Every structure is written in C-alpha cells, then in structure tokens.
Structure 1
Amino acid sequence: MIFCHATQDDVAAIKGILTLFGRASGLRVNYAKSSATILHGKPATAEMITQLGCPVVELPITYLGIPLTLRRPSAAQLQPLVDSVAARLPTCKAWLMNKAGRLALVKSVLSAIPVHQLLAFTPPKKTLKQLEKIQRGFLWAGRAVANEGHCHVNWRHACRPVEYGGLGIRCLERAGLALRLRWMWLARTDTDRAWKGLDLQFSKEERALFFASTTMVLGDGRTTLFWDDRWINGQSVREIAPMLYQCIPKRRRKTRTVAEGLGGNTWARDIQGTLRIHEIGQYLMLWQALQHRPLSDEPDRLLWRWTAS
C-alpha cells in the first residue's frame, strides 16, 4: 500500500519508482489487479489517477481482511464477516452432534474468526448480536438460528468462565475490548514498533479500562505522564485533585512527563484559568503529595494489574 498526494507530480513519481523497481528486480506491477483510492480530492483528481493504469475504487476497501474507511465501519460493511462465520457451520446433520462437540466448535472456530477484526476496531452492536446469534443457535439447536425455547441458559451466563458456572465461551464484546487495549500497552512499553508515536484513536471506555488496569513504577520519570498516569502511590492527579485536573489544557496532559513536571515545579505553570477555593485546596494537597519524590536512573515501568489473559 502506497500513500501519496493527489498531484500530477506525485502520481508520475510513484509510477516511475515502480517501473524502476520492476526493471531492477524483475517483479513488475500488475496494474490491472491493483487499484487506486482517493481519500480527499476533487472529482478531477480521478482523471489524473487514471494515468497509473489501474481502476479507481471508492472507499471502503479491504486490506489484509480489514475494511478501510474514513469512519467507523457500518454493520452493512461488516456483513461479509457475519457471512464467513455462518459459512463455517457444519451443513450435514449438525443437530446430531452432541452439545460437547458443538461447544468445542463454537469456542475454537466460531469465536476465533472475528478476532482479526476485533483487534482493529469496535464493531457495531448489530454485528456483535448477529455473530452471537449464530453461536447461540448452533450451540443449542445445531443450526444458525435457535428459538428462545431451545436456549437452556442465558447467553451472558454461558460466556462466563467455567470456574464461575459458565461454559467458557468468549464474549465477543469484552474480548474485543481486551484485545484493543494491547495497542495502548505496546505503545507505552515497546518503542521499537513502527507505528510508535502515531496518535491512535481509542474510545472513552477503552481508555478508562486501560487506566484502571495499569499503574506506573516511577524511575527516571521520562516516560510517565505527570497528569494522566497513576504514579503517586498507585493514584493519578485526576484521582487526587479532580477539579484541579480540569484546569490543565489537554495538550499538556498528553505531553508533560514527571521528569519535566518535577523539575523546578514546572507542573504548577501548567495550571490555567481562575482557581476557586476548591481548586486551591486540591493544589495544596497535590503539592504536599509531591514532596520528597526523588527520581532514579532506572527507566519507568508500566505494570498490568491483571493476568496476561
């Protein structure tokens, strides 16, 4: 996948580079099997793209099994995912399988197919309900759809772990939420990732769960965020001084590290706006909590409160 500006010079440069690459390696580009998509451009841009010799395709497009679009994928765009799960159901007398065999198929096959999409984005509620409907119908009745009379246990109870009285079936909504937290974890712990530094977008629910699941062990303070991370005895400034936290600009919250904030008490200069009596009281409380917070030469460590699964 190649990104370029929708200009005459950039399009000509891309085609020239691909031509030189083909001459040097012998791997020539098949433009008939390639496509070009305009993200932001005028209608006249499509005519300029045609000089590449490949068809122009509108969004959404599929790349590595993921529908790419400028907005969140709709239920209609994710219908192929639902169809692929339904296509994996046994077609020959599936109702003759015992429930243990159907349960194993649901847990190992039907629950595993959506994982690739759940890693990348949050599917609409309608798509999740359709996927769960297929799993529920096959487990209880051996087909894609089951009436309420066939369902022996509430599906939420069936998705509980075995030790809590459930069947251990993966809840797609909660599994997707946990999978997407991994991107936030890697962004903070693995600096060698190619996408390190990109402004990845996460929902409020995902950020809240990640905040509740992690704490920071303070070292040199270079990677710990002063205003957002939980580094003060397992608490964050947001928890200690919530009203004072609202006086901090969002750009400061995302960039100010502990090392910068403690140096010369720079954190106090991040506060903007008029401070009332409650903000002043929380300011004094925070000032006292920050006393005797020495930094070390060791790097900061982000801790996960739960198990690896």
Structure 2
Amino acid sequence: MLSVIIDEAASLNKIISPFSKGSLSITHLLFADDVLLFAKASVLSAKGINDCFTRFMQCSGLEVNLNKSEVFFSEGDSRCKGAIKDTLNIPQGSLPIKYLGLPLITSRLSAADCAPLISKIHRRIAPWSNRLLSRAGRVELTKSILNSFHPYWAASFHLPASILGKIEKIFRDFIWAGPSLHKSYHPIAWDTICTPKAEGGLGLRKLKDLNKAADMKQIWSIIKKKNSLWVSWFHHKYVRKRNFWIIKNPSKMSWGARTIFNCREEVKKSICYIIGEGKGIDLWTQPWHPDGPIVEQYPPDGEYLNAIRPKTYVHQVLQEGIWDPIMLQRLPSINLILEKALVISSAEDEAIWKDTIDGSFSLKSAWNGIREHHSKIAWASSKRNNRLQGADKSHKQVILRNILHTIRSRCIFLRLDSQTGSRDLAFSKAIDLPLFRSQKPTKSCKWVHPEPGCVKLNCDASLASSSASIGGLLRTNDSLVLAMYSQDKIQMSIQELELEPICHGASLASSLDIDRL
C-alpha cells in the first residue's frame, strides 16, 4: 500500500526523484518492514513524503515510527537541510550505516568499512577454542563455514586487497595453529593449499580469484539483462543502448562501476552468442564467436576495413541463417572463421557461457577459468577409498609407481656404488628415480636378509637444528625393493622422532597388504 501511495505522489511531482534516467525513476526501496525513500533535497519533496505517511496511516491504521527513522543528505545548503528536517521532524543521520549486513556508503569501500566482516569471522572461530579439532577438521571448517562470509560481501562490493589478505591470514593461522590464531610455522605455501585436490592442494580457493569471479557474475547479469533494478539502472546510466564491450570507461563513474568495466576482458574469453536475428551484435568487436571477437582473429592488415564498414552488425550480413555471399567474396579468409559460428535463424540472440555444459554462468566455472592451473598429480584419478586393498598385483604396482613418480623429488636417492644390484637399477628406471654416485666413502654395512616370505623395513631419522627428516625402505628376502618413503621439515621431540619412521613404514606396509614385516 505504501509503495502505491509513493508512486502516485511521484507521478504528481509531489516527490521528485534524484535518480531519474529516461523511463527509470527510483523513489523508494522496500525490504520487510524497512523503507528507503529517495528525493531531491527540497521542502516540496519533504512535504510530499509527509503527505504519504499521513495517507498511509489513514488507510492502514499504522503509523511510521519517526524515532527509528533518519534523514541523510548529500552536499548542499545547510539552511535547506534545516528546513527539510523541521518539515519531516526526523533526526539527521550520517553515512555509512549498516543495512542488510552491508555498509551503505557513497565512496570507495575502505578497510575500515570492512571491519565488521573481519570481526564476524573472529566471532565465529571463538566458540571452537574448547574443541579438539584435527588439522583436517580445521580445513573442512574453513571451506564450509569461514569461507562462506566473503561471497555475500563480494556479491555487492569489490573488496580491497588488504582485506582479502587479512581474511586469508585468519584462515592460515586457524588451519596451522588452531582457534587461538597464534603465530605458527606454515610448512606449506598458501598458493599450494589453494589448489584443487587433484592438483596437490587442499581444495581451498584464493579470495582474490573469487572476488573477480563475483565481478564477472555482475557482467553476466548485465549482458543477459536480468530482471533486476540494479541491472536496469546500470543500462540506463552507463550502457544506454551502446555496445557494452567497447564502451570507453566514463570519466564520471562510481568505483563499483569502474571495477565492472575493467573486468570485461576476462569475461570475453568465456562468452559467445547463439546468433538468431543478429540485431545489435557488432560483427567485429563483440565476443559472439566461440573463438572470441573476429577482429582479434582476423589478420591485422586492414583488409576487412576496405571490404566492409567497421561498424557492421551481424544481421546486416546474415539473412535466414546464410552469410552474405558478397562479404564472403570480398573476404575469402573470413569463411573459415564463420564456419564455427553458432547460428539459429529466426530466433533471438542469446549469450552463453562456454565453460559450463548448459551455457549458464556459475561462480565455480568463472573461478576455474581465472585461477592459476597446475599439472594434475598422477594418482589423483584413482578412487579415493581404494588403498590398494583387494586389488591385483599389477594394479598395485601401477598405483605405487604413480605415487612414487609424484614424490620422487622428495624421495631418498638410491646410491650408485659397487653393491648396487640389477634389481635396484631396474626399479630406479621404472619409477624414473635418479641414481647418484657417492662422492664420499661410505662405511661398509652388511644387509641381513629377512626370512623367506617376510619383508624387511630399514628406516632412520635425522635431526637438524630447526627440523627433522625421516626415511625408510621395504625389501623382500631376495633384495627386491617394494617401496620407499621420506619426509622432511618435521617438528617433534627426539622420542617421537625415533618412533615416527617405524610407524610410517608399518603403515606403508599395511597399505601394500604386507602381513609379515
């Protein structure tokens, strides 16, 4: 009811909207029992707002609580502000204020504006201080709970890099030190952790990439012309029926709009169009082609400028799904490019997202397109729960070889000397593990064979000033090397260090179904 009353007052010019672009005029926004009213700073608009409140009270029996209301002004004459406050009888407030969990601001988002986000993450971690959480548990809590606060803000703001750094520091400290967040040693780089598990990471995502993916989602809403007041406002204020992809950044624009325009090149790589009528789609500059804008594919020799006007739309050279033969005759080399175009005659042009199966946008696909990619680890495709139990011998050897191939740079080097056997050389060649010749004379040590049918574990540990390392080797009675392992940068007591290589070797033997060790 109140919305209808305000619209009627605006149509009679009793309330003059400060945001009026063509047919779009914004006078108020409603959410639950909250109302935001927008009007030009004039006594006339203030009286119109009072009349709307009075009418609403007469029709509904509800009265606006002026004590819980505030009026905000832009820069202007102080005498006019005083007259408006006296007319409305509402106290003056100051920005920023918190609305729907986000700050309402008129300038660029600062680090101080994001303080509530940092505080909210700290408050969420505090109740976990009395719980015994494993490191794997803390990783899952980071992914499922702590990482859920940022996307809500990123959907509305491009967060500053300093804030993203602070949030990621909280994540790192929580994973490695626990809820206390005290300073601790981080043995693995954050860039490595923030990669998919198939690439050797823990499945977390860099907030910088997620921030940019959120900006790409806003561009997707703009080009799809989603039914949104914000999208309509953006088109009326900045696009104005022009080609969104080649518009120069307006000299006067908000900080949020500037971040959107600066993100267009990233979106171009993942966008193409299904051509129907071809109206409003620039033949040369828009990313309607699956391989990107044609101007970027065509040889930069100026041939097309002489053959066809630079400002040419697709519908001018496409009739009922058939390309203009005159254009093809003038530009023979363009024929191969146009063969890949997606054309459906007598239909509306539709933008599709190339990185998803159904052509719709998703934050995951956008993030995957802009993140840094690494090579997949060799054994990532094997089933997660298959720990070599119940598999045949050949399958065990394949998986074991793949695992050792992945970690060979950290593995114990086989020593090449006079006692190196042919089986050692064959094993080294099979897993691509380099041999090296010892530069220092080594003390001769006789290896005692285990009983037939048994496997022997030889292991050791070394302690340096700041960290320790362990390693071990599994061999059969006939000296065949079954597996080897090593681990460095370990921090533990001497007593634990003596036991660690034995436990590690026993676990490896168990995974290989070795019951006589």
Q: Quickly name the TM-score band, shorter chain normalised.
A: 0.7 to 0.9
What RMSD over aligned residues (CA atoms) do the two structures have, in Å?
3.3
- Code of the aligned partner of 1:186: S
**Residues 10-159 of structure 1 mapped to structure 2, 5 A cutoff:** 10-50=45-85, 51-91=87-127, 93=129, 96-143=132-179, 145-147=181-183, 149-159=184-194
**Residues 262-273 of structure 1 mapped to structure 2, 5 A cutoff:** none
Look up the SS of the partner of 2:70 in the other structure.
Answer: coil
Higher strand proportion: 2
User: Does the aligned pair in 2 maintain the 1:138–1:145 contact within 8 Å?
Assistant: yes
Question: Could you tell which deviates more after superposition, 94-103 or 156-165?
Answer: 94-103
Shift of 1:152: 2.4
TM-score when normalising by structure 1? 0.78
> Of residues 327, 338, 347 in structure 2, which corresponds to 1:298?
347
Look up the SS of the partner of 2:263 in the other structure.
Answer: helix
- Code of the aligned partner of 1:296: S
Identity of counterpart residues, as a percentage?
27
- Code of the aligned partner of 1:104: E
- Report 1 or 2 for greater relative contact order, CA contacts < 8 Å, sequence distance ≥ 6: 1
C-alpha distance 38-178 of structure 1, shift in aligned 2 (>3 A): same
Unaligned runs of 5+ in 1: 264-283
User: Does the aligned pair in 1 maintain the 2:272–2:290 contact within 8 Å?
Assistant: no
Look up the SS of the partner of 1:96 in the other structure.
Answer: coil
1:185 aligns with 2:220: yes
Aligned to 2:296: 239
TM-score when normalising by structure 2? 0.48
Q: Distance in 1 between matches of 2:74 and 2:59?
A: 31
C-alpha distance 134-209 of structure 1, shift in aligned 2 (>3 A): same
Look up the SS of the partner of 1:302 in the other structure.
Answer: strand
C-alpha distance 238-127 of structure 1, shift in aligned 2 (>3 A): farther
Look up the SS of the partner of 1:77 in the other structure.
Answer: coil
Q: Distance in 1 between matches of 2:351 and 2:137?
A: 41
- Code of the aligned partner of 2:211: G
User: Does the aligned pair in 2 maintain the 1:137–1:146 contact within 8 Å?
Assistant: yes
Look up the SS of the partner of 2:192 in the other structure.
Answer: helix
User: Does the aligned pair in 1 maintain the 2:98–2:104 contact within 8 Å?
Assistant: yes
Q: Distance in 1 between matches of 2:346 and 2:227?
A: 21
C-alpha distance 133-94 of structure 1, shift in aligned 2 (>3 A): farther
User: Does the aligned pair in 1 maintain the 2:118–2:167 contact within 8 Å?
Assistant: yes
Q: Distance in 2 between matches of 1:125 and 1:41?
A: 34
C-alpha distance 226-195 of structure 1, shift in aligned 2 (>3 A): farther
Look up the SS of the partner of 1:126 in the other structure.
Answer: helix
C-alpha distance 218-174 of structure 1, shift in aligned 2 (>3 A): same
Higher helix proportion: 1
> Of residues 205, 211, 215 in structure 1, which corresponds to 2:272?
215
Question: Could you tell which deviates more after superposition, 130-139 or 194-203?
Answer: 194-203
- Give CA-to-partner distance per residue, 1:218-275, whole Å, 9 cap, x none: 111235345542124633155247798xx9xxxx99xx8644x659xxxxxxxxxxxx
Look up the SS of the partner of 2:125 in the other structure.
Answer: coil
C-alpha distance 236-25 of structure 1, shift in aligned 2 (>3 A): same
User: Does the aligned pair in 1 maintain the 2:271–2:290 contact within 8 Å?
Assistant: no
- Code of the aligned partner of 1:25: S
Aligned to 1:275: none
C-alpha distance 146-306 of structure 1, shift in aligned 2 (>3 A): farther
Shift of 1:285: 6.2
C-alpha distance 30-158 of structure 1, shift in aligned 2 (>3 A): same
- Code of the aligned partner of 1:11: A
User: Does the aligned pair in 2 maintain the 1:157–1:166 contact within 8 Å?
Assistant: yes
Unaligned runs of 5+ in 2: 1-35, 236-256, 319-329, 357-361, 365-517
Count of aligned pairs: 280
**Residues 246-265 of structure 1 mapped to structure 2, 5 A cutoff:** 258-259=314-315
Bigger Rg over Cα: 2
Look up the SS of the partner of 1:178 in the other structure.
Answer: helix
